[in-house]
Amino acid sequence: MSDAQSAPEDPPTETLRTFLYLDTDLANTLSAQLLDRPATDTEEGDAYPSRYDRLEEALGPTLAHPSPLHHDTVRNRLEPGHFLRVSGTALLEDYDMLGAICERWLEIADALVAAHVFQEYGFSGERELQRLRQEIKKLLSKTDDESRAKTLKSQLHSLPSDFDDIFNQAAKNMGMHEQKEWIEQHLGLFNDLFHGDSSSVSLTREDDEGVAFNAPLDDAHLRTEKGRLRLLYNGSWLGAWTLVGQVTALPDRYEDPGIEEVEAGGGSEHMRDNFRGMIGPVQEIYDSVYESESVAEVVLRPLALYRETVVERAEDAASL
């Protein structure tokens, strides 16, 4: 028998998937075609993720895992309709929360200023200021200690004469009210027009250069309610996740249709031509909202968004 001891075997492991999003409607459609069996009622809800594994395996031959992408060549590497599986840092873009903030920005700004004033002075309103003033005067009238009286007088003189003065000054220093018009009217307008109460996930990979994957979400398919997501992930950064979806749009997707422009004042006998001519400036607005010069954004219809965690399995569990 050899004196050398055999190396201990690595404990068995299992990959757990925590689903943040799963589009069961799309999954059912794909399952009916790839697995040749439609979903049953018993396979919906919490039981569905286990069935999703078989679906992703069936997608294997068509499920691309694109190698590092560059913003200048991404259109040559990907095509609409392709299914992708990408892993990276995910950011939740919560537009309905952004809209709520825009609508109530002045109230939020005032609350932030009030909190700052309270932290600085120890009171947050005119009534509290006057109460504090009266308390100091009362203490001053009852003390015979010159040192104590001097301290109280100093505190009394240091109090502002009017709460609104220090509130407005604090708001000015913080720049809150100056942002009101920009936040409420401009940012709020664009958010309402182009995003409404929607939300999406933007995922970036470390090896890509100037490329992001954007997946608009349907709240009905979220596995965790959005309000709870904000609490779980400290706002919007979700961390490292895997996104599986179908490419629906690539950057710079709007191209010149090749239609000759109608000369000013000339018009056309076809209303469709005139209408398309008027749409031109609006299309430029769409381009400016949905496209970016700093990053090439690939839009996906998300099938699933999940986090994978490798865990060790107990020996008795592995033998079952």
Q: Mean pLDDT score of the chain, rounded to an integer?
A: 76
**Residues 6 or more apart whose Cβ sits within 8 Å of residue 228:** none
Is there a domain that residue 271 lies in?
yes
When pLDDT is averaged across residues 274-284 and rounded to a whole number, the result is 55
Residue 4 within a domain: no
Structural domains of the chain, count: 2
Asked whether residue 203 is domain-assigned, the answer is: yes
C-alpha 111/C-alpha 101 separation (Å) is: 12
Q: Which residues of 88-98 are buried (b: 16+ CB within 10 A; e: fewer)?
A: bebbbbbbebb
pLDDT at 145: 82
Q: Are residues 158 and 285 in the same domain?
A: no
Based on the fold, state whether residues 252 and 117 are members of the same structural domain.
Answer: no
Closest by Cα among 133, 153, 134 to 143: 153
Q: Is 299 helix (H, G, I), strand (E, B) or coil?
A: strand
**Residue 313 in domain:** no
Print the domain residue range for 116: 104-180
Which of 149, 180, 211 is a domain's end point?
A: 180
Choose one of 180, 209, 241: the last residue of a domain.
180
**H-type alpha helices, the chain:** 24-34, 48-58, 74-77, 95-103, 105-121, 126-142, 146-158, 163-174, 180-181, 188-194, 226-232, 271-290, 315-318
| Alpha-carbon torsion (78, 82, 85, 86), positive or negative | positive
Q: How far apart are CA 301 and CA 83, in angstroms?
A: 9
Do 198 and 262 fall into the same domain? yes
* Residue 18 scores a pLDDT above 70: yes
Same domain, residue pair 127 and 205: no
* Angle formed by the axes of helices 105-121 and 163-174, nearest 10°: 110
Question: Do 283 and 222 share a structural domain?
Answer: yes
The model carries a pTM of: 0.65
Give the pLDDT score at 51: 79
Tell me whether residue 49 is in a domain: no
Residue 256 is predicted with a pLDDT of: 41
**173 token code pair:** 């220093």
- 132 and 279 co-located in one domain: no
Report the pLDDT averaged over residues 296-306: 93
Encode pLDDT of 237-269 as tens digits.
Answer: 788 899 999 999 998 643 444 444 444 455 566
47 domain residue, yes or no: no
Does residue 41 register a pLDDT over 50? no
Inside any domain, residue 281: yes
pLDDT digits (tens, 9 = 90+) for 71-104: 888 888 999 999 999 999 998 887 777 777 766 7
Residue where a domain stops, chosen among 180, 195, 214:
180
Q: How far, rounded to the nearest angstrom, does the alpha carbon of residue 41 sit from its chain's CA centroid?
A: 32
198 vs 68, residue with greater confidence: 68
Does one domain contain both 230 and 126? no
Domain shared by 85 and 117, yes or no: no
Whether 161 and 230 share a structural domain: no
Q: Are residues 123 and 213 in the same domain?
A: no
pLDDT of residue 213: 94
- Residues 60 and 80: their CA atoms lie apart, in Å, by 18
Segment 129-186, tens digit of pLDDT: 777 778 888 888 888 888 888 888 887 777 767 777 777 777 777 776 666 666 666 6
Q: Is the pLDDT of residue 284 over 60?
A: no
Residue 172 lies in a domain: yes
Q: Are residues 214 and 295 in the same domain?
A: yes
Is the Cα torsion angle 174, 180, 184, 187 positive or negative in sign? negative
Nearest C-alpha neighbor of 166 from the set 204, 207, 118, 216 = 118
- In this structure, the answer to whether residues 256 and 290 fall within a common structural domain is yes
The closest of 25, 34, 38 to 60, measured between CA atoms, is 34
